[in-house]
A and B are shown apart, each in its own frame.
Chain A
Amino acid sequence: MATSARYHSHYDVIIVGGSFSGAACAKRLVDSGYSTLILEHKKLPRHKPCSGIVSPRGHRFLLENFGPVPDEAVHSPKTCRGVVFHYPSMLSMPMDFHYGPTLHLNRKYSDHWALLQSGADVHERTHLESVEDKGTSVEVIARTEGEHIRYRARYVMGADGPNSTVVRSVYPGYEKTIPWFKVKQYFHERIDCPLDDDYFHFWVHPDLGFYTWSHLRNEGQIVGVGYGAGDDLNKRHERVVSYLEEKHGVRLKPTEKREGSINNFGLSLINRYVFGKGNIIITGQAAGFLNIIAEGMSCALHSGAIAGEATVDALRYNNSIQDTYRKMISSEVKRCSDQWNPFKIIFGNPHEADFMAALKRHSRSDRRRIIRDIWSFLRPWGKYGWGRQIVTQAVFRRLIDAYAPSRWL
């Protein structure tokens, strides 16, 4: 099969995945004059299920690197003011983003725009099948419209998101060793919705799901649920809808319109990132960068850019790309993992909205109820055995001012 494949020209770097991490990586490489190709398996512009709330840091990255964001790249409402946490005790805690509201991106166009702005060559509808490190180059086999194509590049970047083919190819069997989570968002027409439309709403509620959210988009209401893969999310969604009606007076029309995806959530909590081997490096959500409070895109952009910078460095100085990448990426690991680090949450304000300040606005007894609610929310997560790892990593972080690189793959 591969031997009869069409052969494509040689690139300095091939990036797999035409999303934010890929675009950011490409931007650094193209600026530096390296021939760069992005492989994207969907037709562009492609749809992507996402709430689209980019954190201020991500918004800034887009402006500074790709220029003013075009109108097509945002949904209505164009911006989001912050996040509201709702607790079972019916307390709610609004947290405004630092520096004002941030954008509500339409990923179909924002990602495509960033890709075009990066200036890299893009082969759309081209699905990566496998990568093989040949020592001084990497052989890439992809498929487009039923035809196999072979590419060769000095380095390959896996920026292909949560269910990464590059990760599967480099670490066979890896996907069986981590837990998987499913998220689905449902689009409803509204009858009545007393929730504040300026915010993204999140329920810290153990009975609703691991990740339960709602917000306004294009005059409809999104209700989203997340749980372990294998769970019936439609049932969970029904439950959330009736909870919203009962507790918050939210009345929505029934819907069949839904979309979902499977996610490798959790790696950043426990400092278990996957950064690649040899001439192949992995970045963005594929590497494990994902976070709470609108941080998936921001850390995809930043980690992608760092992957690009490390590659430029390796190409310029003939350095080991792995060494350089792992050194450079440690700042992003800190930013991302700090968001789950209990010491940092209490003392360090690691998020882009001030959780502790919002908490302090409540009375002492309400604060106690909120902490109790958070604790009960965390309990179902216990089965993943992350608690001890989070605490150990947090202690390390205090002692050596870093998250131990020895835990990265």
Chain B
Amino acid sequence: MSYKTDGSKHIGKDSLIGIPRQQTNPSRWSGKGWDAFVGELGSSGIDVVTEPSKLSLYRSDAGGVATGSCHGVVIARSSEMIADIMRAAQKHRIPVTVKGGGLTTEGESVAFGGLQLDMRGMSKVINIDREDLTVRTEAGIYWHSLAESLRRYGMDYLSAPLNMTSSVGGTLGVGGIDVNSPRLGCSADQAVALKVVTPRGDIVECSEEDNRDLFELVLLGYGQFGIITEATLRIRPFTPITMHYFYYSSLREAMEDLKMLTREDAADYLGILTMLDRAINLLVAFDSDEREKMFFSNWRNKIRGHGEMGFAVRTAAHYLLRPWKLREALYLLDRKRTLLPALSPSHHIASGKIVDRSVVFSRAVWRFWGGRQMVIPDLATSEDKFVDAILKGNEVCKKYFDHYTLYCVGIKLHGKLPRYELSCIPPDAQDFAYGCEFEPMLEGKTYSRDYLQSFKNEIYDIGVEMGTSYYRFGGMMKGYIRRVFGDELVDRYLKMKEKADPSMILNRDVIF
């Protein structure tokens, strides 16, 4: 016998109040039409990898919690090839899941059946224009490789996620936050033009001038409205950076100072990294000596953070009076001994300045958190809600884990851009949004998915309760999007999606 259910007619309408009624773990796609699809691709000379041993590389994403399995993989080689794939996929109704770096943590880049399109086959830098300060690159490239290519010309990208293997295309679709986002905005905002393959298989060049609707839909569009195959990005001359830390024992004070410094554009790089909620590190860095000097003359005295010595003395006194907190003190010492030096490794430093920020921040930072599983729920808020939301999130972290880090930054907004609607930018943010990731230290332990998901849901629930957004280290998911943005807005986008992607095959189950 078979069962028919109409999702809109849920049984027990008054059950699970406040909990989304959605199948967030989709069923694996049945495989109907797969052979005909593969046959059609074969006749266009497109090879689909189906050997189980190769497919097993695609079972999960950086989160390591959601696992799926595709029917086959294509390594992307050109926009034309992707266009052929999308046309055939529409015709045969084959789900296509795009993977760049695969650094999602909720399984968004994992295929639950169907075709996995691996964008890493398109990772060439096409052109660097030092006059115009732009780079044209294929979208499957890792930021880290892009940085290397740009360095040969004395150039650098503007802002990119702090990790080694996220791709340009994957990042432009979700946001991208860096410690210079308070000044430069999210990574998506450095895009000048994109080449996109639409879900129907058209190749379209778009920018603020041409095909703007598509440009705005694809940027921060969670991969719903097209596959980014090439991007023109703004770049800048490379500069080594000087970094300083200020230490706080109050999270609230650190966040208030971060907001003030962000508003006043006091530093080129700015962020909070906590070690414990009474040992908070405000990171401040500069591209030039002038900006550094200005900071010390204009703002240093306005912030409440201590230098390393001052903080060490206070912290020692705190723990001497509280000998029962010895374990906490030892943990802090260990962090100081291992983490802080990793943030300024000598081989990436010349004349006291960091010369390789992408490597330093990404490797150094993640080495301490990552493991086979990785949970990084986040919240993105307006300035007003920032402190309260993060303090609530801090309490949730405490409930679930012994140790965790909060990583907070400001994100500059470039006006009221259409791309910010239904995105990581909270609707009520003006001029700046603020983001915080909640990163538990898994410390080699293995947790059940349910435990980790319960933790994440509690963080995301703060977003629902307070009306924030998620800057999508894996946040904006199907289960939350309607609760945060409301049915009207989501349905408007769903209609656009249905029009653009009639078979609803591109990156299914991510938000719709």
Complex Cα–Cα for A330 and B446 (A): 10
Q: Which residue of B lies closest to A62 (CB)?
A: B23
For A31, give its contact among B4, B24, B112, B451 (CB under 8 Å). B112
Contact of B448 among A30, A31, A309 (CB under 8 A): A309
CA–CA, A33 to B114, complex, Å? 12
A27 at the interface (CB under 8 A from B): yes
Contact A64/B479 with A69-B11, A328-B446, A329-B448 known, Cβ cut-off 8 Å:
yes
Q: In the complex the two chains form, what is the Cα distance from A67 to B448 in whole Å?
A: 21
> B321: CB under 8 A from chain A?
no
- The docked-state distance in angstroms from the alpha carbon of A42 to that of B469 is 49
Contacts of A72 in B (CB 8 A): 3
Q: Does A237 contact B (CB under 8 A)?
A: no
8 Å CB contacts to B: which residues of A97-131? 99-103, 109, 112-113, 116-117, 119
Residue of A nearest to B55 (CB): A33
Beyond A27-B25, A45-B1, A312-B67, whether A327 also contacts B12 by CB under 8 A is no
Contact with A along B1-24 (1 / 0, CB 8 A): 111111101111011111101111
From B3, B15, B479, A99 is in contact (CB under 8 Å) with B15
**Minimum CB–CB distance for B66 against chain A, Å:** 8
Within 8 A of B (CB), among A273-309: 302, 305-306, 309
Cβ contacts under 8 Å, A312 to chain B:
59, 67
Does A349 lie at the interface of the complex (its beta carbon under 8 Å from any beta carbon of B)?
no
A336 at the interface (CB under 8 A from B): no
> Residue among B12, B17, B18 with the most chain A CB within 10 A?
B12
Q: What is the CA–CA distance of A301 and B15 in the complex, to the nearest angstrom?
A: 19
Residue among A63, A71, A101, A306 facing the most chain B CB atoms (10 A cut-off): A63
Contacting residues, chain B, for A116 (C-beta < 8 A):
2-3
| Complex CA–CA separation, A64 to B18 (angstroms) | 14
Once the chains are docked, how many angstroms separate the CA of A79 from the CA of B11?
8
Contact B14 A68 (CB under 8 A): no
Contact B15 A100 (CB under 8 A): yes
Residues of B within 8 A of A27 (CB): 25
Interface of chain B: mostly helix, strand, loop or mixed: loop
Given A312-B67, A328-B448, are A64 and B24 also a contact pair (CB < 8 Å)? yes
Contact code string A36-73 (vs B, CB < 8 Å = 1, else 0): 00000000010000000000100110011111111111
Contact residues of A between 63 and 90, Cβ < 8 Å to B:
63-74, 78-79
CB distance from B240 to the nearest CB of A (A): 40
CA distance A73 to B2 in the complex (A): 12
Chain A residues 17-43 with CB under 8 Å of chain B are 27-28, 30-33
For B201, the chain A residues whose CB sits under 8 A away are none
Is A332 positioned at the interface, with any CB of B under 8 Å from its CB?
Answer: yes
B449 touches A103 (CB 8 A): no
Interface residues of B in 440-460 (CB under 8 A from A): 445-451
Most buried by A among B24, B52, B450: B450
Q: Please, which residues of chain B bring their CB within 8 A of the CB of A45?
A: 1
Contact A305 B23 (CB under 8 A): no
> What are the nearest 8 A-B pairs in CB distance?
A33-B69, A331-B451, A70-B3, A32-B67, A327-B446, A68-B5, A328-B448, A67-B23
Give the B-binding residues of A (Cβ under 8 A).
27-28, 30-33, 45, 56, 59-60, 63-74, 78-79, 99-103, 109, 112-113, 116-117, 119, 302, 305-306, 309, 312-313, 316-317, 324, 327-332
Q: Which residues of B contact A (CB under 8 A)?
A: 1-7, 9-12, 14-19, 21-25, 27-28, 52, 55-56, 59-60, 67-69, 112, 372, 445-451, 479
Question: Given A32-B59, A69-B10, list of 20 further CB < 8 A pairs?
Answer: A31-B67, A56-B15, A59-B16, A68-B10, A68-B11, A69-B5, A100-B14, A100-B15, A102-B12, A102-B16, A109-B3, A117-B27, A305-B450, A306-B449, A309-B448, A312-B59, A316-B60, A324-B446, A327-B446, A327-B447
Could you pull out 7 A-B pairs where Cβ atoms are within 8 angstroms?
A33-B68, A59-B15, A67-B27, A116-B3, A117-B27, A317-B372, A328-B446
